[in-house]
Amino acid sequence: MRWLILVIILSGLGASTWWFTRSKPVAVLLQPVVEGTVRATVANTRVGTVEACARAKMSPSLPGQVAVLPVREGDRVEKGQVLMEIWSEDLKAELKQAETDIVATQRRADDACATAAFATREAARQGQLVKRKLVAEDVFDTARTRVATSRATCAAARASIATATARHGVVEAQIEKSRLRAPFTGVVAELNAKLGEFITPSPTGIATLPAIDLIDLSCMYVSAPIDEVDAPAIQVGMPACVSLDAFPTKRCGAIVRRVAPYVLEREKQARTVEVEVELKDAAARANLMPGYSADIEILINEHTKVLRIPTEAVINGHEVLVYDPETQLLTKRAFKPGLSNWEFTEVIDGLRAGEQVVTSVGRKDVKAGVRATPDDGRDDT
């Protein structure tokens, strides 16, 4: 009996010693395995830039004084609209003279051709008289010569009409060169000329400020570099989203419109492919301006209604720490991953819905076999 009491006392002392000396459970953050959507995406490596699909920095072809300037910065203009005109009264006077020359030449041609027609009829009449021996042969020869001469004069007069018309076209072209017309419908973004100023076209090879900078804001895209490793998966037409530093919300409804057919090497060990993403949705283009910095996220693939876990819970690409609420122990388990991005990883096999995995795998002493307690993430200090 004494031995039994002694054993009980020693067992109690041992249990007490283990209880008070055992290690405290490690606090861990947990997330359940749930059903949801996992997207495989690709993002740019360096910041991209918002561009307009059409942009024209224009200056007149001829030097001269600005005579007409009907637009201001911010004006919306239509394709073909005159934006600026250089003084060209001398050319307009030449144009009027060319028009007068065309009319005069036409009249001379009409007169010459009418004379040729009369000479032709007269020669025919003389020919009949010769056959009846009523006139001499030399009279008929003179009539035929007059026909040839008058026809040549008619042809020359008609050629003069063509020459006068061509000259008229040359003057018209010179006048048109003094005008700047909108090549597309857009908005005047910048105006570097004033009414009455004298402007000169840029010399060859020397860049100067454009007289007018016209931008088409109805079509906007983002050009951004993608790492060469990710580029092969990108195809034209893939959906994408755009994030801008100037706006808090992400803008989707974009598509890939171009993947450059070459690789850029701007830095050592940094090779990229330029990708363009066009914002198709009018709402996504709202308040955008060319030059904004932007990031792109291209959707490569998407799986819906699949089991997923936070990517931060994944160890070595295919393992997780699973928490057992009954034993409070952490167990390392391998699973078969599917699609993955920085936020979620698809679970194909190895985990069940509702099981809890550890997301705070980087904390001290968090490893397989240790006791753990759920951490609600609140700061009690």
pLDDT tens for each residue of 14-73: 555 544 445 678 899 999 999 999 998 899 888 999 999 899 988 888 888 999 999 999
Digit-coded pLDDT (tens) for 222-262: 999 999 888 999 999 999 999 998 888 889 889 999 999 98
Residues 9 and 65: their CA atoms lie apart, in Å, by 112
Closest CA to 138 of 128, 126, 156, 151: 126
Closest CA to 296 of 250, 345, 249: 250
Q: Nearest 5°: phi and psi at 16?
A: -65, -40
Digit-coded pLDDT (tens) for 123-149: 677 677 767 776 677 666 776 777 788
How much is the pTM? 0.64
Both tokens of 242, joined, read 């755009």
pLDDT, mean of residues 200-224: 83
Mean per-residue pLDDT of the chain: 85
Closest CA to 84 of 49, 45, 56, 117: 56
Both tokens of 129, joined, read 């008289």
Residue 10 has pLDDT above 60, yes or no: no
- Work out the percent of the chain whose per-residue pLDDT is above 90: 40
Do residues 95 and 168 lie in contact, with contact meaning Cβ atoms separated by under 8 Å?
yes
Do residues 117 and 162 lie in contact, with contact meaning Cβ atoms separated by under 8 Å?
no
Closest CA to 24 of 381, 372, 330, 378: 372
Alpha helix (H) ranges present in 60-136? 89-131
Residues 222 and 208: their CA atoms lie apart, in Å, by 26
3-class DSSP state for residue 325? coil
**End-to-end alpha carbon distance in the chain:** 53
Report the side by side order of strands in the sheet with 82-86: 179-181, 82-86, 64-68, 198-199
* R_g of the chain, CA atoms, integer Å: 44
Tell me what pLDDT residue 380 has: 41
Residue pointed to by tokens 């679970």? 347
- Compute CA distances 352 → 80, 258, 310, 335, 336, whole Å: 65, 41, 14, 10, 12
Do residues 222 and 204 lie in contact, with contact meaning Cβ atoms separated by under 8 Å?
no
* Weakest mean pLDDT among 117-131, 237-251, 274-288, 362-376: 117-131
Tell me what pLDDT residue 334 has: 95
β-pair type (356-358, 64-68): unpaired
The DSSP bridge partners found for residue 214 are 56, 188
Based on the number of CB atoms within 10 Å of its own CB, is 371 exposed (0-12), middle (13-18) or buried (19 or more)? Answer: middle
β-pair type (270-279, 319-323): unpaired
The Cβ of residue 304 has, within 10 Å, a number of other Cβ atoms equal to 9
Tell me what pLDDT residue 19 has: 46
